[in-house]
Chains A and B, each alone.
Chain A
C-alpha cells in the first residue's frame, strides 16, 4: 500500500526524465565526444572541446558578452520594472487592470514577431527610434542599434520586462498598506517612505525578478539572433551555429552545458544570498 504514492508519481517522473534528464545527460555526454570535418562525431571521451571553450579567448569574449548583456538587461528591467509595478499597484481599479494587460499583453505575442518589430524601429540611419531621438534633440547623429549590444539590451529589456513587473507586483501585494501610513504618521515624507519602507520590503521581489530576467536574457536566442545578426554572437547563438552551421555538435554541446552550469551557479548563489539576507525578516 505504501508504494501507491510512488506509483502515482511515476507517469510524471517518467515524462520529466524523458524530456529533461535524458536529453540533458546526452548533451553533457556529447560535449566529451570528438569531432572532425570528415570523420563526423566520434563517441570517445576526450576533453578537447572543454579545453577549447575554456582556453580560447574567442569563447571568453562570447561568454563575457552574454553575461554583460544579461546584466544590463536585468538592470534596465529592475530600474523600469520596479517603479512600473509600484505605480500599477497604486492605480485605481479600472485603470489597473487595463495597464496590467498593456504590460503583460506582449507575452502573448511571439518573441520573434516582437523582435522583428524592434528591428524595424532600429533599422538603418533613418530608423524610427533614431529619427525620434534626433527630433527631440537628444542626439545629433544616428546611434547604431542594429548589430550592437545596445540594440540587443534594449530589445531584450522590453521582451523580459513583464517578468520583473510580475515579480515585484507579487511582493507588493503582500505589503500591508497601513505600513506606509504608519511611516507617514511618524513624519516620513513620500520619498523616505519609498526608500526606507517600501523598497526594502519589495527587495526580495526585485531580486527574484532579477534572477528570472537574468537567466532568460543570458539564454535568449531569438532576440540576439535577429538584432545581433550573424557576427555579434552570444552563447546561445554560438551553440546554435556550432550545431547547425559548422555541424560541430560536441563543441556546441560544451558551450550549451557551460552556459547552463554558469547560470545555475549564478542563480543558486543569488538565492543563497537572498535567503540569508532576508530569512529573519520575511519568514
Chain B
C-alpha cells in the first residue's frame, strides 16, 4: 500500500471538474511532480491534500489514515507556497520556528532545530534578518526551511521556483533535489515547467483537464509518451507521417527524408533547425560539436531510428 494515496479524487467548481477522478499512489520518500498547463487541476489537487480545498468526492489517505477527516492544522504537512507566504513581521528564525512553537516544542530544542535547518538550506547566518531584507532565492530557502523543520510527513511544493530567474532556478533545482535526498521526505511538486519536473522528480504525473494523462518516471514519459498531449507537453516533438519523433533524434545524413533548411538558430550547446520537407516542417536539434553544420537554404536529408 502506498504511503500517500489519492483515490478517484474529484473537485467540481460550478459543474466543471477541475480535478476529475485522479488516482495516485506515492511511496514513502518518493518525489512526485504534478505537471501540466495552468488550469489542469494540479494546484487544486495540492490544495486538497493540504486541506485548503475540500474535494467533491474521492479519498486521500496518508499512512493508511483518512486525511480528509483531519483539519488542515492537524495534517502535519510542510508546504512551500508560490509566493513563499513568509510572515513579514517575523525574523527568519521566528518564521522557521513558528511551526515548532505550534507543536509545543521547547524553546531550547526549537533553537537547535531552527539552526540545523537553516544550515541545511545554506542560511546559517541569516537567522535575525527579516524577509524583506532578503533576495527571492533566499526567501525561497526560508520557506523551504520553515516547511522542513517540522519534519513533515509530506512536503508539498507549489511552483516553488517560478518566481526565481532562470539561472537561480537551475541552482535551486539541484539544491532542492539534494536536500530532499538528504532528508528523505516524501515530496509532491506542482509545476508547469516540464524541465523542472523532469529534473527533480522520481515520477511525474502529466495532467490535462483534471485527469492524469500519464504517470511514470520522467525519461519513460519523455521517451514513450502515452498521448499526443504528453508528447507535446514534455519537450518539443515532430509529427512526421503520423509518428512522433523528438528533434534531437533526427540527424543529417547522405540519404533519408529530403528537405531544405529554412532557419538555423545557434543556441550555444546546440543548433536548432527548421527544415522544410515533403511531410511538413520538421524541427531538428543537433549538438554543437564544433563541426561545420548545414546553413540556411542548404539541401539536407533527415534520418532517424525507426524511420520507415
Q: Is the CB of B146 within 8 A of A186?
A: yes
Q: Is the CB of B150 within 8 A of A186?
A: yes
18 further A-B pairs in the complex, CB-CB below 8 A; given A178-B82, A196-B98, A282-B89: A179-B86, A181-B81, A181-B85, A182-B81, A182-B87, A183-B87, A184-B52, A185-B50, A185-B51, A185-B75, A186-B98, A186-B99, A189-B73, A200-B89, A278-B89, A281-B88, A282-B88, A283-B132
A197 adjacent to chain B (CB < 8 Å)? yes
Measured CB to CB, the nearest residue on chain A to B94 is A196
Give 9 nearest A-B pairs by CB, closest first.
A187-B102, A186-B99, A178-B85, A182-B85, A200-B89, A178-B81, A179-B85, A185-B79, A281-B89
B130 adjacent to chain A (CB < 8 Å)? yes
Least distance between B150 CB and chain A CB atoms (Å): 7
CA distance A197 to B103 in the complex (A): 17
A56 CB contacts on chain B under 8 angstroms: none
- Interface residue ranges, A against B (CB under 8 Å): 176, 178-179, 181-189, 192, 196-197, 200-201, 278, 280-283
Chain A interface, DSSP helix/strand/loop, else mixed: helix
- Interface residue ranges, B against A (CB under 8 Å): 50-52, 72-79, 81-83, 85-89, 98-99, 102-103, 130, 132-133, 146, 150
- Known contacts A176-B85, A187-B103; is A280 also within 8 Å of B72 by CB? no
B88 CB contacts on chain A under 8 angstroms: 179, 201, 281-282
CA distance A181 to B75 in the complex (A): 13
Measured CB to CB, the nearest residue on chain A to B79 is A185
CA distance A150 to B302 in the complex (A): 91
Measured CB to CB, the nearest residue on chain A to B149 is A186
Most chain-A Cβ atoms within 10 A of its Cβ — which of B51, B76, B81, B82?
B81
Measured CB to CB, the nearest residue on chain A to B158 is A178
A200 CB contacts on chain B under 8 angstroms: 89
CA distance A188 to B98 in the complex (A): 9
B150 CB contacts on chain A under 8 angstroms: 186-187
Measured CB to CB, the nearest residue on chain B to A188 is B102
A192 CB contacts on chain B under 8 angstroms: 102
Least distance between B155 CB and chain A CB atoms (Å): 11
A182 CB contacts on chain B under 8 angstroms: 79, 81, 85-87, 146
A188 CB contacts on chain B under 8 angstroms: 73, 98, 102
Find B132's partner among A187, A189, A197, A282 (CB 8 Å cutoff): A282
CA distance A44 to B20 in the complex (A): 87
- Known contacts A178-B81, A280-B132, A280-B133; is A183 also within 8 Å of B89 by CB? no
Q: Is the CB of A281 within 8 A of B83?
A: no
Measured CB to CB, the nearest residue on chain A to B133 is A280
Least distance between B62 CB and chain A CB atoms (Å): 14
Q: Is the CB of A187 within 8 A of B99?
A: yes
Q: Is the CB of A185 within 8 A of B132?
A: no
Measured CB to CB, the nearest residue on chain A to B152 is A185
Most chain-B Cβ atoms within 10 A of its Cβ — which of A186, A189, A197, A281?
A186
Q: Is the CB of B132 within 8 A of A184?
A: no
B50 CB contacts on chain A under 8 angstroms: 181, 185
Least distance between B307 CB and chain A CB atoms (Å): 50
CA distance A270 to B85 in the complex (A): 29
B79 CB contacts on chain A under 8 angstroms: 181-182, 185
B99 CB contacts on chain A under 8 angstroms: 186-187
**A to B CB contacts below 8 Å, 18 in the list:** A176-B83, A178-B81, A178-B85, A182-B79, A182-B86, A182-B87, A183-B98, A185-B50, A185-B75, A186-B98, A186-B150, A187-B74, A187-B76, A187-B99, A187-B103, A189-B73, A196-B98, A280-B133
